[in-house]
Amino acid sequence: MTADEIIDYCLSKPGAYVDFPFGFIPVCVKVKKRLFAQLYPHEDDYKITLNCDRLAGEFYRDLYPKTVVRGYHCPPVQQPYFNTIHLNGVVSDDELKRMIDHSYSTVIKKLPEAMQKELPDDAEK
């Protein structure tokens, strides 16, 4: 997937929007001020960091060693809950979409119930 396709897919999620809290890179996609995708569109180091639960994180790291790694920029205590996926063609587009879906859902589930209710009914909970 191209960077634009990834951003478009992320933005198809209810309440999702692009933000640049760290400068132009990474391109951050948030819902209710919470990050669920951080895209690094560098040609020589194309990757995305996504939220995950511990089990999903381990599953994907085991399934795609060296391609899916713990969140590279996260402090050690947070690393099990973030995966960085090197977008080198090893992970299929459909699998990447599932990872994005999981990240979005993980963030939504952590929101206070009142904030969850503010999202459209089709938001994944």
Q: What's residue 121's pLDDT?
A: 64
Q: Which domains does the chain have, with CATH numbers?
A: 3-75+84-111 (3.90.1150.30)
- Contacts of 25 by beta carbon, 8 Å cutoff, 6+ apart: 40, 41, 42
Cα–Cα distance, 6 to 64 (Å, whole number): 19
- Mean pLDDT, each 10-residue run in order, the chain (125 residues): 97 96 93 95 93 94 95 74 95 97 95 86 57
Cα–Cα distance, 118 to 91 (Å, whole number): 33
Q: What's residue 124's pLDDT?
A: 57
